[in-house]
Amino acid sequence: MSPTTTIITLLFFLIPTTLSQNTTFTFSSFTLRNITLLGDSFLRHGVVGLTRSTTVPASSSGTLLYNNPISLIPNSSFSFKTSFTFSITNTNPPSSSLNHFSFFINSTTSFISLDFHTNNNHVGFDFNNSSVQKTVDDTVVFNFTSGNLITSWIDYNGFNKNLSVFLSYANSSFSSSKPEEPVLSVEFDLSEYFKKTEILYLGFVGSAEGSTELQQIMNWSFESFQFLPVNQTQNKNSSFHHFGYQVEDIPASNSTKNHHRKRFVIGLCVAIVGPCFFFVLLLVLGYVSFRKWSSLNKLKKSKSSIGCPKEFGYKELKFATKGFHGSRIIGNGSFGTVYKALLVSSGTVAAVKRSRHSHEGKTEFLSELSIIAGLRHKNLVQLLGWCVEKGELLLVYEFMVNGSLDKFLHRELSHECDILLSWVQRFNIVVGLASVLAYLHQECEQRVIHRDIKTANILLDGNLNPRLGDFGLAKLMDHDMSPVSTLTAGTMGYLAPEYLQYGKATDKTDVFSFGVVVLEVACGRRPIEKEGQEMVNLVDFVWGLYSQGKLIEAVDKRLNGEFDEVEMKKMLLLGLSCANPNSDERPSMRRVLQILNNEALPLVVPKVKPCLSFSSGLLLSLDEIVSDFDEGLSSNQFSCKIKIEPS
């Protein structure tokens, strides 16, 4: 059963009804007396609209439901005939195969519907999701979306098990002649589908997906008959014959009257409670549908505008990660958990990033997908593909065999790493990181502010070359616009002071984080480390030694003096200049790359670390500032000191 049919079936129980066995009615124009309108449907001047009238493409759906369901007589043969006049107007060409207009007869377990597919002028007969379609005869020249009035007749004969559909254009007064030949004729035994039920509901449903399509019903008539075989009839005086069958006029017994009385009381209760529940249900369904449409719309725009890589299937990625087993976890980032995956289709190893199943996670997913897919640099982690299925948001990257840089610098956190990075390798890592940041800041069509530069987000390939990853916090911005972040996020120890204060991300906040990484690579120390009972800030530690003329003592002792002292001092001073508390004094990443390549002179670094002055009121709380911590640290294990002077 389709989702639309399921929702309609659920709503039947909320609408007070009166049962009938043989049903006849005619609506030359509509009122709300005997019908119920659901979803986006509306009533205007006696005409029912099933979809919204919009000037721009939108998605909408609505239902017209006849209030009095049909009560079937057991073992009877059910026949009906109905006719209705409708019009469908679309100012734009049909854009979706989901656009359809349908007449339906439903029970709680089965349904049949006659579908008018407006994108291809098909008439389809659907019974329990098994459909028969036929293109309207070209000689008739029908165009469902022309806005012209069209009358449809549907005749079902329960004796010969045949359903026929006739179509004809109508004039402005809705008059037209029924054609001699049907546009669709199907041999079909309706009793096989409704034999287990006694109640049938009927009406219309319309749906338009990303379209300006307006679907309207001008009038509707319906007549049904129920026949019993003659040999089953006991009271012939209260019946009449038709096609060898006999229509029963069943007298109402006392038990039947009591049954109807109970149904009336139940219906009255439902009439009071039902509308409230129905209203809440519509609000919930509308909200969920809007959120889903909004997320998918963003994803479609990202995919169509930049040309995303391969879209993977969820089953393939689940199999590749052994069902996202804990043994396959290789890291955690701002986006979520990272798994090692073996892609059977290509026989390659990849890294799969899985979101945290939150609205913020979807936002980060779309951000990372739209940014990474459009970037090309040798020091960026390559995006192989993505997946949005079963409520999961997944990104597939090339696998970096040597993992993240922090595992090499801080060996106490990884006993599997036996490689000590040499001076040459460390210098190469710093140059590669500077190169990719210069590309992001100055060489892209739109500047990319990463906002979470740290050693845990710098991966090393098989040759220990750096690859920058984790763009879950990145922001795109034009070169001539002032970049503003709506929420401070990142990792403590790498965040620039002005970013903590005002929550504004710029290329200079990335430069500050880069400076901390440079000092971390040279010194082999974390940005914030515990010494005794105090937490020591790496920038303060190196600047203190520089003030005492002992800068070289900050170098990682594990190098055993095997480095170029001049180049090492230049790297340390470069790290301090990038981590200057005053953002105006920090160099651009292009200037940093020139200094590392000996194409520009190093900046003059003051012997004493400059003090940063703020107004006395901090704008953000610590909870708003911190989004992610290094492994093994928690929020109560360190403190960050900021000097604040009265304004």
Annotated binding site for ATP: 353
User: Helices 589-596 and 507-523, interaxial angle, to 10°?
Assistant: 30
Burial of 511 (0-12, 13-18, 19+ CB in 10 A): buried
| Residue (of 66, 73, 75) closest to 199 by Cα position | 73
| Given 40, 115, 452, 556, the catalytic residue | 452
Residues 6+ apart with CB under 8 A from 159: 77, 79, 227, 243, 244, 245
Q: Which H, E and C letters describe 568-610, residue by residue? A: HHHHHHHHHHHCCCCHHHCCCHHHHHHHHCCCCCCCCCCCCCC
Report the C-alpha gap between 459 and 384 in whole angstroms. 16
Amino acid at 617: G
Report the C-alpha gap between 435 and 450 in whole angstroms. 14
203: tokens are 């009406």
Task: Kindly provide the residue ranges of all beta strands, DSSP E only, lying in 285-442, ordered along the sequence.
Answer: 310-311, 329-332, 336-343, 348-355, 383-389, 392-398
What sign does the dihedral 283-285-286-288 (CA atoms) show? positive
Report the C-alpha gap between 509 and 502 in whole angstroms. 12
Element (H, E) at 557: none
Dihedral of CA atoms 518, 520, 521, 525 in degrees, nearest 10, equals: 160
Instruction: Assign 639 to helix, strand or coil.
Output: coil
Cβ atoms 221, 82 nearer than 8 A: yes
Instruction: Assign 195 to helix, strand or coil.
Output: coil
Cβ atoms 573, 605 nearer than 8 A: yes
Report the C-alpha gap between 433 and 453 in whole angstroms. 10
Task: Kindly provide the residue ranges of all beta strands, DSSP E only, lying in 90-161, ordered along the sequence.
Answer: 100-106, 111-117, 122-127, 130-135, 150-157
Catalytic site residue 452? yes
| Residue (of 350, 354, 341, 465) closest to 398 by Cα position | 350
Strand order through the sheet with 348-355: 310-311, 383-389, 392-398, 348-355, 336-343, 329-332
Active site residues: 452
